[in-house]
Amino acid sequence: MAARVVITGLGGICGLGSSAGAIWQEMRAGRSAIGPIENQSLHDIKVRTGCEIKALPEHGLDRKQTVSMDRFSLLAVLAAREALENSGLEPGRVEGHRMGATVGVGVCGWEAIEENYRAILTEGRNRAGIFTVPKVMPGAAAGQVSMALGLRGPVFGVTSACASANHAIASAVDQIRAGRADVMLAGGSDAPLVWGVMKGWEALRVLAPDTCRPFSADRQGLSLGEGAGMAVLESYEHATARGATILAELAGVGLTADASDIVAPTVEGPEQAMRACLRDAGLNPEDVDYLNAHGTGTKANDQIETQAIKRAFGKHAYSLSVSSTKSMHAHCLGASGALEMIACVMAIREGLVPPTANYREPDPDCDLDVTPNVARERPVRAALSNAFAFGGTNAVLAFKAV
């Protein structure tokens, strides 16, 4: 029988706040942190709206480590460190190589890439910075978390665009279920608010000019953000043996692919991912009270996700509380699923569903209860979190009360 996997610590940082607790309080209040981006390097970007971390907290990390970090790695380390402290677990007390980390990233080290392009192409330097490769590699965040926290078990990066965090968390669950680790730090991180990435998204014509309004009839697209979220995952036996406070059980995962189009989603892929997740978690549709939607705020994605939820949950879809917290922290690409994990776990803990902020007009094609603007009190026995990415990769996680 596969090991049960539980969550014993959470950490996060994004435009909503510099800790998981602060992020949750803003979500509870329905406050959106999406607004004007202050980064002056984005001088010719047409849509300069997003969810920016205005100032990083004092972190006390040694410069020998930070000099080899791009921003996405630093954010991952800050979130992982908080999650570990929150869990009350000391790495040295876990046997040798039984504690690891998986970190999902979407676009990785673009800050370092652009610094080098500027230095070589506009400043006339003849070589790149010595730490360029270790800064930009997709696995850098996982490696930096490992070094910062002394983790010697399975450590690797995961990249699948907007589903990266959920895939990384699913991979961590696999390590524990397979018996390769007792404890895993898992989540995602991204820092896409740089010129080249923003120009790319601008070309797709999916960026909202004002703010993100998921499921609202007047929605105009998504907003980009930066951040990181991490969780401490443990086998149930390991957590109870040390007397840990268990926040929730990570009960199941569902992974599918559309195998259809590089950017346009299908209904069938997300539907089957939700069905697979329910099966893996041993849940019936009516056992789920809250669904954190992928909810990007684009016309097509929100309509397709609504259809997929209806197919997966049947008549119970209309009894679900659904919301998109991207309306508050924006779409943080590889970090989104990790921030949404915080929302799911805390919804279970507090019996409170975070709202879909910025909602203004009902859309008949998005006719589920999307918890508009104001959080709703209700018992949450189980919650699902959806992540659907370019490339047609779908990853759904199930959380339940313990």
Task: Return the amino acid letter for 257.
Answer: A
Q: Which of 219, 238, 70, 240 is nearest to 157 (CA)?
A: 70
Can 331 be counted among the known catalytic residues?
yes
Task: Return the amino acid letter for 97.
Answer: H
Residues paired with residue 253 on neighbouring β-strands, in sequence order: 397
Q: How many CA atoms lie within 13 A of 140 on its CB side?
A: 27
Can 294 be counted among the known catalytic residues?
yes
Residue of 294, 332, 344, 366 marked active site: 294
Supply the DSSP string of 43-76, one letter for each residue.
TT-S--EEE---SPPP----HHHHTT--HHHHHH
Pairing of strands 393-400, 382-389: antiparallel
Residue of 167, 331, 344, 366 marked active site: 331
Residue of 14, 108, 162, 212 marked active site: 162
Distances (CA, A) of 74 to 22, 311, 385: 19, 40, 25
Q: Which of 9, 384, 5, 17 is nearest to 228 (CA)?
A: 17
Q: At what angle do helices 140-149 and 71-87 cross, to 10 degrees?
A: 40
Total Cβ atoms within 10 A of residue 37: 22
Can 329 be counted among the known catalytic residues?
no
**What is the three-class DSSP state of 129?**
coil
Q: Which of 321, 302, 314 is nearest to 369 (CA)?
A: 321
- Counting Cβ atoms within 10 Å, is residue 188 exposed (0-12), middle (13-18) or buried (19+)? buried
Q: How many CA atoms lie within 13 A of 228 on its CB side?
A: 31
| Residues annotated as catalytic (active site), given as ranges | 162, 294, 331
